[in-house]
Structure 1
Amino acid sequence: MSNITKGIYQLVEEANQIVDEITVCEALDLYKQEGVQFVDIRDIRELDREGRIPGAYHCPRGMLEFWIDPESPYAKGIFQKDLTFVLFCAGGLRSALAGRAIVEMGLSKVKHIHGGFGAWREADGAIQMKD
């Protein structure tokens, strides 16, 4: 018998109360705007298989908090800039949870794409395949 008291869908629903979930149309409007950085949190194998959004910064979900915290030995300078971060994963679940984590860390300008990379692809957003 499972001891789980909260499932992933409840966690995502709660995250969406904290993180600005945007539509793919809103994401397309934000794409390449000054001060906006798309962040791909998918696994590298997903990027290799499905392609990437050109200009998106790849930050694997498992390293996100470590790369954002300026006190971490793994901190990445991009997350120390005053940018609006638009997170996405394959379908919008991991990015909601990731967004919640970084909002709780103190970043306030965080959004995530409802439907993730799949919605981006269906909307004919720019995609770059691995060479």
Structure 2
Amino acid sequence: MKTETVGTAEFQTWTVEEVAEAWAKNQVVLIDVRTPQEYMFEHIEGALLLPLPFFNAHKLPGQKDKQIIFHCGSGVRSEKVARAAIDAGLEKIAHMEGGFAAWKQAQKPYIGTNMATGAPSRVND
């Protein structure tokens, strides 16, 4: 994990492996900031959807029990959202390096769309 101090806050960049391990142990909340269409086509099972255009850092829940980690397609939007959360006063926030593309490249499990039927199906499960 890479960390950066921004004022009094800690901005973290987690690797796919770190996210996957913490996710499997239910230690983190994973928030997908991609579009609803991207999420419907494929997503990490259990990740919450909060598209970038609707993001309001002031409405995020506290992180007393679980660390929030944002992710998007490549890591660009999630970094933008994480930095906005810091600007809104969160003291510690994270995003996943490389985004969902890196998650898929690492062959981590996700929900995809069966192109023959249009139905959701587990991939790399």
TM-score, normalization by structure 2: 0.74
Alignment coverage as a number of residue pairs:
106
Q: Does 1:54 align with 2:33?
A: no
> What is the aligned partner in structure 1 of residue 20 from structure 2?
28
Q: Distance in 2 between matches of 1:25 and 1:35?
A: 14
Q: Please list the CA deviations of residues 43-74 of structure 1 after superposition, one character each: whole Å capped at 9, or x if unmatched.
A: 0111123x110111110111121xx424xxxx
Residues 112/81 of structure 1: CA separation in 2 closer, same or farther (3 Å cut): closer
Q: Which structure 1 residue ranges, 5 or more long, are not aligned?
A: 1-15, 71-75
Q: Distance in 1 between matches of 2:100 and 2:44?
A: 8
Residues 124/84 of structure 1: CA separation in 2 closer, same or farther (3 Å cut): same
**Is the Cα contact below 8 Å between 2:29 and 2:47 reproduced in 1?**
yes
Q: Please list the CA deviations of residues 90-125 of structure 1 after superposition, one character each: whole Å capped at 9, or x if unmatched.
A: 000010010000112122331111100000011111
Q: Which structure 2 residue ranges, 5 or more long, are not aligned?
A: 114-119, 121-125
TM-score, normalization by structure 1: 0.71
Highest relative contact order (Cα 8 Å, sep 6+), 1 or 2?
A: 1
How does 1:27-106 map onto structure 2 within 5 Å? 27-49=19-41, 51-65=42-56, 68-70=57-59, 79-80=61-62, 82=64, 83-106=66-89
Which is strand-richer, 1 or 2?
Answer: 2
User: Identity rate of aligned residues, in percent?
Assistant: 25
Q: Distance in 2 between matches of 1:56 and 1:17?
A: 26
Q: Does 1:115 align with 2:98?
A: yes
In structure 2, the residue corresponding to 1:118 is in which secondary structure? helix
Q: Distance in 2 between matches of 1:17 and 1:81?
A: 18
In structure 1, the residue corresponding to 2:19 is in which secondary structure? helix
Q: CA RMSD in A?
A: 2.0
In structure 2, the residue corresponding to 1:90 is in which secondary structure? coil
